[in-house]
Amino acid sequence: MSELTREVSPAFVAFKAFAAEALARQPGLLRLDCLSPVKAIARGFDFTSPPEITLEHAWRKYLNVRFTHSFRSVGVRDSLFKLFAGPLNDRVISVPADVYPVYLMIAQKAGARIETYPTLPKFDIERTLRTNTVLLTAPHTPLGRDLTEHEISVLLRWLSADANRLLVIDRVYDYANSARLQPLIDTNQVIVCHSLSKSHLAPLVSGFVIAPERFALPSADTRESDQAKVLLTRYRHFPRTQRSIFRSRWGRLAASIRAFDANWMPPESGYLSVVNVPQTELLERGVLAVPGDVYGTSNTLSIVSCLHETNAGAETEIVDRYHVTALSNFARGYDKYSRTYSKANIPESTYPDQFYLLPNDQLDIGFAKVGRLLQKIPARDRAIVLHTRVARHKLRANERTGLGEYIEQNYVRVERLLDDTLTELRTEDALAASLELNGNLRAWGDVNPRSLSVLPIASACQAKCDFCFSHSSISDEQDQGLLVLPRLEAACAESRARGAERLVITGGGEPTLLAHHKLLEIMRVGAKHFRKIVMITNGYKLGHADPADRLCTLRDYYESGLTVLALSRHSHDRNAEIMHLETHSERVAQAWQAHRGEWPGLTLRWVCVLQKAGVSDECTLRDYLTWVVETGGDEICFKELYVAASNESVYHDSAYNSWSADQQVPLSLVTEFLRNNGAEKVSELPWGSPVYRLHWRGKELTVAAYTEPSVFWERATGVCRSWNLMADGTCYANLETTSSRIEIGRTSHTLPLLETIR
């Protein structure tokens, strides 16, 4: 129904002609007349590489509500026409008279019977309920606010009184994507119409209707479905950006508007508001506004808009801001997967939905506030400074105290950390120190393992990776030996009893350097205790094997109980440079792919450590995912370069650790990319590492964004990544400290540590 989108009221046409003449006479008028956000709000959408999900799925991910039945359309006008002409045609529909004149045109074209109700100058929910079917615009326009909790309660009572009653809600002006309508949707007596025309400035691209099954219509998509999927995923936050821009512009205009309407308050949402002054009087005051009759109400009122570009200022400029807090808060609020600091887990925050920020020259305000707090808490706590960058339109003046500014959200993205002397502080150090301050650290013997890792090779490896964790851990100091099977049996039994769920064969060095029959023995022993047996390998030995031997080896692994073969591959095309070794791991994947029917329980996983020379941006990430689809494999584990903290690891000053700190690429690259491409979060490890399901190039992949838990996290929570059974027979709960040694076999007879290699 594109012809409906082009419909405008005669009053609007007359006003546009009047405005043109007025501006020709008085070009310096204050412009409060702009009604086109498409022209007024800048955006730079990139529609390349749409996510490989259905449009239905994209809408369901975007909307923050539960529902069962729905249909898609061109937009809200199209949806309303089809509803009015179809399942609602036998009803009398109450329609707002002064919100959207096109409602009346749609009803007329659809042959619908309507009654009208006023919403201006003040909205009264009781006055809307004139027939058994009511159309509401929510958020209310041009009033600029959403339904209140009281109004929702009134509507719920009204609906419950008669099962034949029906509410139709137009959400085209919803910039907050709020879930406040959930109780109404749950009644199964509500139809909710969405569109991208205002929220994403994309008219005629896609509409979406939540409806009870009896009112659901066949879906009709536009040719811009791929654009819609991009807007709903990659640009899902754009409506909130617009809302912030509107709030900023209203703030700039507030003094001018109150000069002619002293009681005016900025709207809660949207770019329109109402003032109790006729348009003719405003024009005499040098202000161009919209007369009330354009919206079907009295001309004693005027409609004002913040949209015109002259009201924008430097709103899109990105500026540096700072937040001072106590170090003890950092571990509670920081999420290393998104690199954000949130107040969500700090309930004692005075203003949980606002984040106060300071320019660099006002940091003394923050230090003074935190200093008063530090007088009440342990002496070792201290102030730290979070550096963030925000767009100017997000900043609001702190009118309560006149000090600093705030943003209307409970989190900030952390660019850098500074200590109380404004010296840069490593995130890993701050997290470790914060966890230590929170106290209640458990003894290593009381920390339960999530896995049992076996490191049968001490340090030997064909690769020479610059970031090798083995050189920044206990592995670098152990003696080589051959694990005796009774000790492995005991470790499996005891770790399983303490909560371990899997056996991981790793290194140390490269596990496939172990004699083949010995490696199979480890798998068989593990399979008696665990359903999941994982082996992490560089793939060199398998990649360089004769094809027939490669297949035979894979078959041996499968028959011995291996369930996950994890191949290290840190770039699709530069892996040899990174590992200083040509592994030809792609040959392993190709063999696995070609014969996967022979080992249905064996999963192939790629392990990719993010780094500046490899997967470091969206382009290289896309290339890697595509390479995996084309080569073979169902799972990918993207890992952040592990950087040991200076106050929890004796290996923090190793060359490998320093290299990792310099070359680290944040996991937020992966997590944000996955969200933008419609991935579903399916699980999360205890320390926060998320696991997603992604559709890519026609294939479903399981993708993890992984980083290691820190020493203090493990001791604070009582859960460690794994017990680590070393090549010399010793066992540690954490590879960064020898104090984490676990005595295996305490409940049985004495077990030898290892079989000495002769």
pLDDT in tens, 606-651: 999 999 999 999 999 999 999 999 999 999 999 998 776 655 554 5
pLDDT of residue 280: 96
**Residue labelled with tokens 């999420």:** 335
- The CATH 3.20.20.70 domain(s) of the chain lie at 444-730
pLDDT of residue 632: 96
**Residue labelled with tokens 């024009």:** 283
**Residue labelled with tokens 């819609």:** 228
Cα–Cα distances in angstroms (integers) from residue 200 to residues 175, 195, 748, in the given order: 9, 9, 67
Question: What are the backbone angles phi and psi of residue 234, rounded to the nearest 5°?
Answer: -60, -35
Omega prior to 347 cis, within 30 of 0: no
Q: Give the chain's mean pLDDT.
A: 91
Cα–Cα distances in angstroms (integers) from residue 673 to residues 47, 234, 618, 686, in the given order: 14, 8, 7, 22
**SS (HEC) of 221-267:** CCCCHHHHHHHHHCCCCHHHHHHHHHHHHHHHHHHHHHCCCCCCCCC
Query: Looking at the predicted structure, is the pLDDT value of residue 757 above 80?
Result: no
pLDDT of residue 553: 98
- Read off the DSSP letter of residue 715: H
pLDDT of residue 647: 55
- Whether 455 and 727 have beta carbons less than 8 Å apart is answered as yes
Question: What are the backbone angles phi and psi of residue 693, rounded to the nearest 5°?
Answer: -110, 120
User: Who's near 29: CB < 8 A, 6+ residues apart?
Assistant: 22, 23, 283, 286, 287, 288
The CATH architecture annotation of domain 55-236 reads 3-Layer(aba) Sandwich (3.40)
Average pLDDT over residues 281-289: 97
Cα–Cα distance, 87 to 570 (Å, whole number)? 56
- Whether 585 and 539 have beta carbons less than 8 Å apart is answered as yes
Nearest to 147 by CA among 170, 130, 165, 113: 170
Cα–Cα distances in angstroms (integers) from residue 577 to residues 58, 179, 286, 589, in the given order: 39, 50, 68, 20
User: Who's near 543: CB < 8 A, 6+ residues apart?
Assistant: 583, 584, 585, 586, 587, 588
The CATH architecture annotation of domain 318-438 reads Alpha-Beta Barrel (3.20)
Strands annotated E in 569-689: 603-610, 635-640, 680-684
pLDDT digits over 362-401, tens only? 999 999 999 998 988 777 899 999 999 999 999 999 888 8
User: Who's near 94: CB < 8 A, 6+ residues apart?
Assistant: 114, 115, 116, 117, 128, 129, 130, 131, 133, 134, 135
Q: Which pTM value belongs to this model?
A: 0.86
pLDDT of residue 428: 84
Dihedral in degrees, nearest 10, Cα atoms 339, 344, 350, 355: 30
The CA R_g of the chain, rounded to the nearest whole Å, is 31
pLDDT digits over 209-222, tens only? 999 999 999 999 98
Neighbours of 638 (CB within 10 A): 27
Cα–Cα distance, 356 to 341 (Å, whole number)? 12
**SS (HEC) of 614-631:** CCCCHHHHHHHHHHHHHH
Angle at 276 (CA atoms; ends 272, 279), nearest 5 degrees:
75
Length of the chain: 758
- The CATH 3.90.1150.10 domain(s) of the chain lie at 3-41+239-305
pLDDT of residue 117: 95
pLDDT of residue 752: 46
Using 50, 70 and 90 to split pLDDT, how confident is the model at 480? Answer: low
Cα–Cα distance, 414 to 386 (Å, whole number)? 6
Cα–Cα distance, 265 to 273 (Å, whole number)? 9
Cα–Cα distance, 304 to 290 (Å, whole number)? 6
Average pLDDT over residues 106-114: 95
Write out the two tokens for 277.
Answer: 């002054």
Element holding 283 (H helix, E strand): helix 279-284
Query: Looking at the predicted structure, is the pLDDT value of residue 682 above 60?
Result: yes
Using 50, 70 and 90 to split pLDDT, how confident is the model at 3? Answer: low
* Bridge partners of residue 696, in order along the sequence: 699
- Whether 190 and 171 have beta carbons less than 8 Å apart is answered as no
Cα–Cα distance, 494 to 500 (Å, whole number)? 9
Cα–Cα distances in angstroms (integers) from residue 525 to residues 242, 483, 487, 489, 493, in the given order: 59, 12, 11, 7, 10
Query: Looking at the predicted structure, is the pLDDT value of residue 756 above 50?
Result: no
Nearest to 391 by CA among 415, 407, 410: 407
- Whether 466 and 579 have beta carbons less than 8 Å apart is answered as no
Cα–Cα distance, 129 to 9 (Å, whole number)? 25
Of 350-354, 474-478, 671-675, 739-743, least confident by mean pLDDT is 474-478
Question: What are the backbone angles phi and psi of residue 541, rounded to the nearest 5°?
Answer: -65, -45
pLDDT of residue 619: 96
Pairing of strands 635-640, 603-610: parallel
CATH code that applies to domain 3-41+239-305: 3.90.1150.10
Fold of domain 444-730: TIM Barrel (3.20.20)
pLDDT of residue 342: 94
- The CATH 3.40.640.10 domain(s) of the chain lie at 55-236
Dihedral in degrees, nearest 10, Cα atoms 578, 582, 585, 587: 150
pLDDT of residue 10: 85
Residue type, 524: R
Write out the two tokens for 84.
Answer: 């009015």
pLDDT of residue 195: 97
pLDDT of residue 470: 66
Nearest to 82 by CA among 1, 154, 10: 1
Neighbours of 655 (CB within 10 A): 10
User: Who's near 192: CB < 8 A, 6+ residues apart?
Assistant: 65, 169, 171, 181, 185, 209, 210, 211
- Whether 576 and 583 have beta carbons less than 8 Å apart is answered as yes
